[in-house]
Structure 1
């Protein structure tokens, strides 16, 4: 099964729509890994597309902050129905595909659940506790595919604003759960008025 992975849109409606449109032709399912909005700025367009498309979606720290802020929720233009539906989204997904267990969170699956799982993070040594074949995360805005204690940890980077050094490209990813191949797709961030073809990179994990 091919899982499309999209994270950290932060209200970037143009790049979010492009990623979903490209994935529609290839992915069997698209998973949203959180932070579709930016701080207290709600995006009817991004959240509406995610929910209307029926995509499985875990909340990130930006959604949680927004949902705890009555003043942000009450701002003119915010659609109450979308906020109500957003509250129903989980913090974590656990499911099986191709006989393999998948865990999906925005940041870390370990308390306090807000840590950044970069390459070299000590928390990655705890992956054995999950008893999962795949751990899918976002939060760092940097793509990653690494295997730790039998768990393939995959981060698609950010479709909203990259933090890859020297890059102006936003990114998403496709995980083939059968072959365990991870392909990162990057294209120029339209927020900067940039345009260009989608570039592909295969990330390998020993």
Structure 2
């Protein structure tokens, strides 16, 4: 049976068993930030979709993103923006992003149902799970600060962060910048941002894990449509302009 883009695919049992294990294809995304156009354009089938937090804020369609994630994702962890919206809490924004985060948090909160806010509130900060003999640890930030931690630039500090991780693979988001590397005998992966890329271009990014290997990927989505929707939001003109510029350029 054929599958559409961004949908779970059926597992072919004639070719997908190895020692009685089903070999899965994982698609890993993060930082969707209310960008429903990017989520809908995800050009990959999968057995499981994993989401590393920040479903909401900054983008024009948070309710549609949550509905899609609820319907399609197998694992979701909480990001700092999810936490802020779920608890109507603007206390932890950094000075650089405070005005933008506060304005879009108020808009996002007005668009979500009580059930959707409860969904965000109930998301775990961390999840550890095994697939095909590999153990994965999922979070949004860092092991020391799962919601808001940013990875250090010094490699020794990276290794210190990974020292307490017992999984084979650490999956994180938050920075909006793709990373795939080996440190301290573990794999560290950040799929980048699906909904608000910050790597110098408008392409959305994500990761695929299959047959024991990761691949970072990018794709084009109808960014002009997302920009049009942003332009129509009840946001201060300066904030709307900055959000549109980020989507166009992939830079803050």
Check 1:76–1:156 CA distance in 2 against 1; reply closer, same or farther (3 A cut).
Answer: closer
Q: Does 1:172 align with 2:193?
A: no
TM-score (norm 2): 0.66
Question: Which residue matches 1:90?
Answer: 124
Question: Which residue matches 1:101?
Answer: 135
**What CA deviation, in whole Å up to 9, does each residue of 1:5-45 have, x standing for no partner?**
011011110101222xx33x2x2211000011016977110
Q: Does 1:67 align with 2:102?
A: no
Q: Between Structure 1 and Structure 2, whose CA radius of gyration is higher?
A: 2
Unaligned 5+ segments in structure 2 are 1-23, 90-104, 227-252
Q: Does 1:128 align with 2:163?
A: yes
The Cα of 1:150 is off from its aligned counterpart by 1.1
Contact 1:59 1:91 in 2 (8 A): yes
Alignment map for 1:72-83 (pairs within 5 Å):
72=106, 76-83=110-117
Check 1:158–1:15 CA distance in 2 against 1; reply closer, same or farther (3 A cut).
Answer: same
Q: Does 1:157 align with 2:192?
A: yes
Q: Does 1:28 align with 2:47?
A: yes
CA distance in 2, matches of 1:171, 1:157: 6
Check 1:75–1:152 CA distance in 2 against 1; reply closer, same or farther (3 A cut).
Answer: closer
Question: Which residue matches 2:15?
Answer: none
**Partner SS state of residue 217, structure 2:** strand
Question: Which residue matches 2:182?
Answer: 147
Contact 1:39 1:66 in 2 (8 A): no
CA distance in 1, matches of 2:146, 2:139: 13
Contact 1:8 1:139 in 2 (8 A): yes
Aligned residues: 187
CA distance in 1, matches of 2:41, 2:60: 21
User: Of Structure 1 and Structure 2, which has the larger fraction of its residues in helix?
Assistant: 2
